Structure 1
Amino acid sequence: MQIVADQNIPALSSLLTDAGSLSLYAERQPPAHLLAEAEVLLVRSVTRVDEALLAQAPRLKFVATATIGTEHLDLAALAERGIAVASAPGANADSVGEYVLTAVLAHYQRRQQLATLADKEVAIIGAGNTGRAAGRRLAALGLTVHYYDPPLLQKGAVPPGLEVHDHWQRVLNSDIISCHVPLVTAGPHPTHHLLDIEALQSLHSGHLLINASRGAVIDNQALLTCCEQGDCPGLILDVWEGEPAIAVALLEHVSIATPHIAGHSAEGKVGGALKVAEALYAFLQRPFTADADSVLPACPWPTFDATQIASLEDLAALALHRYDIWRDDALMRRDGGTAAGFDQLRKQYRKDNPRRQFNNQRIACHNSQQFEQFLQLGFNAVRAQS
Structure 2
Amino acid sequence: MKKILIIDEMHASIGERLTQIGYESDYLPQISRQEIIDAADEYIGMIVRSKTTIDQDLLSSKPSLKFIARAGAGIDQLDVDYLDEKSIMIVNAPEGNRDALGEHMLGMLLSLSNNLRKADREVRSYVWDREGNRGFEVSGKTVALLGYGYMGSAVAEKLSGFGCRVIAYDKYKTNFSDLYVEEVGLEDVFAQADIFSLHTPLTDETRQLVDASFLNQFKKRIVLLNGARGEVICTKDLLAALKSGKVTHAGLDVLENEKFATLTTEQQQVYAELFEMEQVLFSPHIGGWTIESYENINRVLAKKIHALGL
Short-chain TM bin:
0.7 to 0.9
Unaligned ranges ≥5, structure 2: 117-132
Measured after TM superposition, the shift of residue 263 of structure 1 is 0.8
CA distance in 1, matches of 2:45, 2:77: 17
What is the Cα deviation at residue 41 of structure 1? 0.6
Structure 2 partner of 1:87: 92
* Alpha carbons 1:127, 1:164 under 8 Å: kept: no
Q: How does 1:1-386 map to 2 (within 5 A)?
A: 1-10=2-11, 11-17=13-19, 18-26=22-30, 29=33, 31=35, 32-34=37-39, 36-110=41-115, 112-114=133-135, 116-153=137-174, 157-161=175-179, 162-168=181-187, 170-171=189-190, 173-185=192-204, 190-201=205-216, 206-227=221-242, 232-245=247-260, 247=267, 248-249=271-272, 250-253=274-277, 255-284=280-309
What is the identity, as a one-letter code, of the residue corresponding to 1:143? Answer: C
Say which is worse superposed, 270-279 or 111-120, in terms of deviation.
Answer: 111-120
After superposition, give the CA deviation of every residue in 1:171-212 in whole Å (9 maximum; x if it has no partner).
Answer: 364211111111232xxxx32222111223456995210000
Aligned partners of 1:204 and 1:231 also within 8 Å: no
Counterpart CA distance in 2 for 1:113 and 1:141 is: 19
Aligned 8 A contact 1:203 1:232 in 2: no
Higher relative contact order (CA 8 A, sep 6+): 2
Take 1:35 and 1:121, find their aligned partners in 2: how far apart are those partners? 54
Q: Deviations 1:317-362 (Å, cap 9, x if unpaired)?
A: xxxxxxxxxxxxxxxxxxxxxxxxxxxxxxxxxxxxxxxxxxxxxx
8 Å Cα contact 2:190/2:217 also seen in 1 = no
Q: Secondary structure at 2:28's aligned position in 1?
A: strand
Moved more, 41-50 or 207-216: 41-50
SS at match of 1:22: strand
Question: Scaled by the length of structure 1, what TM-score is found?
Answer: 0.64
Equivalences, count: 278
Deviation sequence 1:225-264 (CA, Å, 0-9, x none): 4445666531100111133346433333362111111011
Q: Tell me by how many angstroms 1:39 deviates.
A: 2.9
CA distance 1:195–1:281, change in 2 (3 Å): same
Question: Aligned-pair RMSD on alpha carbons?
Answer: 2.7
TM-score (structure 2 length as normaliser): 0.79
Report the secondary structure of 2:62's partner residue: coil
Q: Tell me, what secondary structure is at the counterpart of 1:259?
A: coil
Match of 1:73, SS state, is: coil
71-80 or 94-103: bigger deviation: 71-80
Identity rate, percent? 29
The DSSP-based 3-state class of the residue aligned with 2:238 is helix
Q: Is the 8 A contact 2:143 2:195 kept in 1?
A: yes
Change (3 A) 1:114 1:140: farther
| Conserved? CA contact 1:150–1:165, under 8 Å | no
Distance in 1, Cα, partners of 2:40 & 2:191 = 46
Which amino acid is the alignment partner of residue 277 of structure 1?
A
What's the CA shift for 1:124?
1.2
What secondary structure sits across from 1:131 in the alignment?
A: helix
Cα offset, 1:102, TM superposition? 1.2
Instruction: Note if contact 2:209-2:233 (Cα within 8 Å) is conserved in structure 1.
Output: yes
Report the secondary structure of 1:119's partner residue.
coil
- Structure 1 unaligned spans of 5+: 286-386
Q: In structure 2, do the counterparts of structure 1 residues 160 and 174 end up closer, same or farther at CA, with 3 Å as the change threshold?
A: closer
Distance 1:34 1:126, change over 3 A: same
